Structures are given as C-alpha cells and as structure tokens.
Chain A
Amino acid sequence: MFRPSRQLLLRFAAIFLPLVAVTALIVLALYFSQVASLREAWQANERDVVTRQQQVIGGELRTVVADVMILSQLRTLRELLAGGEPEGRQALAEEYRLFLEQRRIYDQARFLDAEGMEVVRVNYRERGTEIVPADKLQDKRDRYYFQEAARLASGQLYVSPFDLNVEDGAIERPVKPTIRFATPVFADDGAFRGVVIVNYLGARLLDRLREAAIGALGDVALVNADGYWLLGPSPEQEWAFMYAEKREISFATAFPETWRAIAAAEQGQFASREGLWTHREVRPLARIQSGVGFTSAPSSVSSDARDYAWRIVAHVPVAAMEREAARLRDGLWRLFTALVLVLFVVAWLWARVALAHRVAREQLLQSARLSAIGEAMTALTHESRNALQRSQAGLDMLVKRVADRPEAVQLLGEVQAAQYFLRDQYEAVRDYAAPMRLSCEAVDLRAVVCEAWEDLVGLRQGRAVALVEHTGTTDTTVWADRRAAGQVLRNLLQNALEASESVSRVDVRYEEARMPSGPAVRIAVRDDGPGMSREQRMRAFEPFFTTKARGTGLGMAICRRIVEAHGGEIVLGDGSPPGAEVILVLPRPRE
C-alpha cells in the first residue's frame, strides 16, 4: 500500500493550505463585490421603478386637470350661463355625456350653480352613460368640494383627497377610489356662476401604477400623507382610513421607524432590518401649478388644506435579498470546491516534484560532501594504518619481552584492545566516507542472510538464538552488490544479537514491495529484545550515534548509505513490540 511520507505530507500542506487560503480570500472578495454590485443594481432598479411611478401619476393627473379646464370653458356652458334654459342645459349635458363616454376615466361630471344646486349631472356607467333628469338633481351647497371650489378665483382648481366614493352616507361597493376635481366658473363680468366638478376614477391610476411596478424586485406601495395605504400589499390593507374599525392598519403603524424616516425626507433609499426601502414624495399638483403649456392652465391649485402629498414606497424584503445572496453563495461555493480540488491535485504534484528535487539535491550535496570527506579520510586512514602498524609491531615485540611478567602482559592486553578499537573506528569511518563502488547483480537475499548469520557465529557462541525466516511465496532475488548487501545484513543481524543477551530469536520476513522505480523486495529484521527507546529511534541512522560501549556509531549510517546507493530504502519498523525492527526495501533486477 502507498503511504505518503511525513515529509511529503508536510510539503503538501505547506503548498496546499496557503493556496486554499488565498483562493478562499479571493472567492470571499468576489462574493462581497458581487453582493455589493447586486445591491447597487437593486438600488438603481428600485429608484427607476419609483421614478416611473411618479411619472405615471404626474402624467395622469395632468390630463385630468386639463380635462377639467376644458369642461369649465365649453361654449355650451357659456351659452347656458347666458340664459339658454332648458335647451342650453340639455346641450351641455350631451357634451358632458360624450366626453365621459370617450374618456372613460371619470365617474361623473357636474355643473353646480352659484348656490350649489346641480344644474347638469352625467353619470358614467359601463352599460350606458346617464344624464340625470332635472327632478333628480340635488342641492350640494353644503358639500366640502362645492364650498372649497366656490372660494377659488378664476383659473384655480380644487382637488379632493384620494379616497373611496361615498353614496348616501355609505362607502360604495365595490369600492370606488375617487378624486374630485372642481373649478369655479365666472361670467364675463366676473360674477361667480357656479362650479364644474369631475369625479376621477382612481382605479385607473392604481392599475397604471401596478403595471409600472412590474420589474420591481419587491412590492411597491402608494401611501398617503397620513401613512395609509392607497395601493398596498393587499386590498384589505388599502383605504383603511375610510373605516373606523381599520384605523390602525397603515404603513405608519406597520413600519413606524421606516415611516418616520420616509416622512422626514422628500426622497431616499435606505436599508433597514426589514430590507431595502426606496421612497419618493409625490406632489402631483405641484407640477401642474407651474403650468405645462396649457393656455387654460389653472393659475393655482388648492386642495384639502393639508399638503397634497403621497409617497411611493418600494420595498425589497430581506428574505428576497437573502435569497439572491444565497444563490450567489451557492455558485461561488461550487466554484470554490472545484478550485480546491484542482489545487489539491496541483499541490500534490508540486509537492512530489519539489520533494524529489530536494532529495536529489541533498543526495548530490551529500555525495559531494562525502567524496571530499572520503578523500581526506583515505589519506588519513593511510597514515593511521602506518601508525597503527608501528604501534602493533611495538606491542608484539613487547609482549615477547615481558612474557614472564603477568601484570605487564595484562596491561599490554588492554593496550592491544584499545589498538583494535582504534583500528575498527578508522575502518568504519573510512567505510562510511569512502566513495562507494557497487557492482550489482541478481542476488538471492536468503543466501546473503545465511552467510551473514554464519559470519556472526562468534557472537552466537554459548547462546540459544534462532534465525527464523518467513519467505512465503516471495521471490527473494534483488539487484544488489553482494558484498555490500552482506555488510548491511551482517550489521542488522549483529545489532539484533547485541540488542540484549536475552534475544532468543531473530525473525527475517520477506515480502513483495513496490518502489516508484519498480518492483522491490521488503526485508524486515526483528529481534525479541527490549526494543528501542524514543531517542534511539530518532537517532538510529545518525552517524556516530551508538548505545554500545564499543560501537563506532556508523553501522546504521553505513547501512543507510549502502541501501540508498542501491536506490533502496531503510527505515525502522513502527516500534510495536516485541523488540526492534528494521525494514529494508531493495529493488528487484530490471527485466
């Protein structure tokens, strides 16, 4: 099984994690900028909607004002005032009827005389417009619209509040939103002669507003100066001010804080807990006052004392904005996940290449260093061998001369031991540092192990130690230098034997393995001794680290050097008991 090395994982993490972090930052930045531009787009859209609504209202009411002016200056009305009863009355009524039938936006058109008595009244009905007969005409002198209009000068206009039509003291059903427009009529001599009044059907205005609200992201409401809905989220909430029991239902009570903010400004846009609000005050008559090219434009407009001000309020609820943001997040999350996957692969390959590169460089460096050391060491060893030879020659001659003095012989034995130790040290260092020349061939590892075990016969003397080989069906042939492989295995077996006096068996297990370069054989050498300490495990392959009283500390380092020169691997086992385990991986012969 492939198990990535710790080094590879670390390197991978060092590449992958920063990449992911940067990507996350970029995606987050993208998200926020997207949200910001989305918000800007919404804001612009809502402003457009509100502006459109305002234009609709302005355009509509301007027409109505013009109509009223026309109706108050008809020739037939002039003739009637000049005294043409009842033919004049009939002619005016006919003209009003024609007008209503064509216009279809007025519920009724009337002319009241100076005392407030209806002279002509035409009711628009879809089945047929009716001219109210003379005996059904009513006295309207007490009605507010007559009184208001009667106070006006020539060319002035009275506009009633936008509300529901009331007939005989009750709200007409189905509801009929209405605005009354009235203007006084004067004779040529300036005497007040009456008032022309039209009832504008507000439903048409509201329909046109609804049409203009298509394209809004949320809902659009028309609210009057007191904060009541004229056009609201639902019919039940509209015109609440007309009903005593619904006085509490208004925009102002539903969104008190928002209403305060809206009421305080002519127009604006702001976000609150409830969402995005876009509002604009509409004073439909303000623009009419300034005149729009009508020769008969009213010189001024009066209205129901209070300011004739509505408010268009467009609202995008938080939920709607949140939904859009969530959609954006979803998309970006998918993008992010895909990027992370790509980065994973990239980082993995990168880490492998980088690691291979580093390992190659280190090996190059190491071998350059070793060859320099090797040369120095060869020279040093040569000189040391000469010196050791002199010392040895001296010792051998001396032993002869003091053979009859046991104490001296014993001391010379100590010197001889030290001499051996020095010799072994020099040889090990030389072995470690000298340039390695391998001559590889197909080698049966079992034979190498057997030979190494035989070589160690001296160490096994007087002990009951068994070599137990586990071959299974594994072919134990590797591509190696026979002498070098023997050195490695002798070293490992020797370490196993020297781990403790109590070691009673050494297990050698052969298994199939794979290396990046191809098939390989894995050889695990395990003793049943006390195992290795943490420090021993960490420093096992370090040159000059030893736990033996007479060790050079180079055995494992040399093993590693040899194995790596074969393109193989040498590592410690996982440290599980019993004993210590060393694992070799050596390549198979190439076919």
Chain B
Amino acid sequence: MASGLRIAVADDEPLIRRFFEDVLPDMGHTVVAAAENGQRLVEVCHETQPDLVITDIKMPGMDGIDAAIEIMRERPVPVLLISAFHDDDLSARAEASEVMGYLVKPVERAQLEPAIRLAHSRFGKIDSLERETVRLRQALEDRKLIEKAKGILMRTANLAEDAAMRKLQKMASDTNRKLIVVAQMIVDAAPTLDLLNERGK
C-alpha cells in the first residue's frame, strides 16, 4: 500500500540528497524531485505533485517547516521532517504545521522505511477523514438550502410541507436537474416570487 510512492526530498547537503535518491528506490519508491532549499522544494512540489515529502528543517532561505506549510496550503500531502535539532520551539512549530513525522538526525536507512510507511498511512487516514468531513459538511449545507427552498414554496404556493417537498422533487426530475440545483434556483428567485405573490393578492 505504501509502495511505489512518488517522493520529493530536500536537504542542503548534496550527500544526503544523494542518499535519498540511492536508498528510496530500493524500498520501491521514486524520488521525483530533490531540492536544496525550502523555496525550491515548494516549486518542485507544485510541478511534480509528489505523494510524500521528506525535508530537512534547517536550510538556507526558507526552512523545511515553512516550506511544508506552503506546500500543504496548495495541496495536503504527508511531510516527514528530519532535523539535527529537537528543541521545544521546533517541536511546537512542527506540531502546528500538521507534518506527519519528525526524525532526529542521524537517520539510518532502516528507520526511514517504517517512518515513511507510518506517515503515509496516517496521512491516508487523516485525508479520508477530512474528505468525509467535507462531504458531511456539504450534505449539511445542501440540506439547509433544500429546507429554505421548501419554505419559500410553502409560503408562495401555499403548500403543505410534504406537498412542497414533492413539488421540489418533481421540478428536479422534470428539468433533469439535481435537487440541490433546483433548490438553489428557488432560493435565488425568492424575491421575485414574493413580488408576484403580492401582485396576485
């Protein structure tokens, strides 16, 4: 499941970049980009859309944490931080940035694999949870809109609640549109409907 990931790496040390390019393929992954600083990392991620990012924290210019924040703003992706530091400040920043892992140097090959696997699977879980949340939130929004449209119908066409609902569904199937689209149209048209209603009286 975690095999065959497309991974972007960043470290200001050429040897370390080479190390990743050397050992990650052994684990079945592809290194799609190797950046030497944070700014560059953001750029290559934009270009290559990797499945996972491994970055050093301390690099010239933009550091790893800021780069991670930048990248995740564009698109959620699991990020593994690797650093020689592990003081409280950095830990706090890393935590706030929602990165998926934090490894303290020296990191050896054997440590890398489980860390990647863990970060990826955890991200997967979180990502699916987030998707679910988005879906539920949308459903809730839709529900509210439909209720609103129903209310307008009840008021302007003088219908009972279930009749208004049936009317709404019929309008959707008649026009071959989604229920939510019809509801939106009714809500948008509400002021006009109210005006017509007043004339009719």
Contact = CB atoms under 8 A, between A and B. Distances in A.
Interface in B1-58: 13, 15-16, 18-19, 22-23, 26
Contacts of A400: 22-23, 26
Contact of B105 (A385, A395, A396): A385
Contact of B106 (A378, A383, A392, A437): A392
Interface string B61-88: 0000000000000000000000011011
A389 B14 CA distance: 12
B95 to A, nearest CB: 16
A390 B107 CA distance: 9
Nearest to A423: B106
Contacts of B19: 393-394, 396-397
Contacts of B22: 396-397, 400
Given A400-B22, A423-B106, A390 B84 contact: no
Contacts of B85: 382
A419 B88 CA distance: 26
Nearest to A399: B109
A389 B106 contact: yes
Contacts of A389: 13, 16, 84, 105-107
B104 interface: yes
Contact of B84 (A382, A394, A397): A382
Interface string A349-390: 000000000000000000000000000001001110110111
Given A397-B22, A397-B23, A400-B23, A390 B16 contact: yes
A378 B88 CA distance: 13
Contacts of A382: 84-85
A386 B23 contact: no
Contacts of B87: 378
Interface residues of B, number: 18
Contacts of A138: none
Given A393-B15, A393-B16, A385 B23 contact: no
B84 A386 contact: yes
Nearest to B83: A385
B106 to A, nearest CB: 4
B174 interface: no
A391 interface: yes
Contacts of B88: 437
A396 B108 CA distance: 7
B108 to A, nearest CB: 5
Contact of A390 (B13, B23, B26, B108): B13
B110 to A, nearest CB: 8
Nearest to B26: A400
Interface in A500-526: none
B23 A392 contact: no
Contact of A396 (B13, B84, B104, B109): B109
Interface in B104-148: 104-109
A398 to B, nearest CB: 10
A390 B15 contact: yes
A381 B104 CA distance: 11
Contacts of B105: 385-386, 388-389
Contacts of A393: 15-16, 18-19
Given A382-B84, A383-B84, 12 more contacts: A381-B84, A385-B104, A386-B105, A389-B16, A389-B106, A390-B15, A392-B108, A393-B15, A396-B23, A397-B19, A400-B23, A437-B88
25 contacts: A383-B84, A385-B104, A385-B106, A386-B105, A388-B106, A389-B13, A389-B84, A389-B105, A389-B106, A390-B15, A390-B16, A391-B106, A392-B107, A392-B108, A393-B15, A393-B19, A394-B15, A396-B22, A396-B23, A396-B108, A397-B19, A400-B22, A400-B26, A419-B106, A437-B88
Interface of A: 378, 381-383, 385-386, 388-397, 400, 419, 423, 437
Interface of B: 13, 15-16, 18-19, 22-23, 26, 84-85, 87-88, 104-109
The 6 closest A-B pairs by CB, nearest first: A393-B19, A385-B84, A388-B106, A389-B105, A392-B106, A396-B109
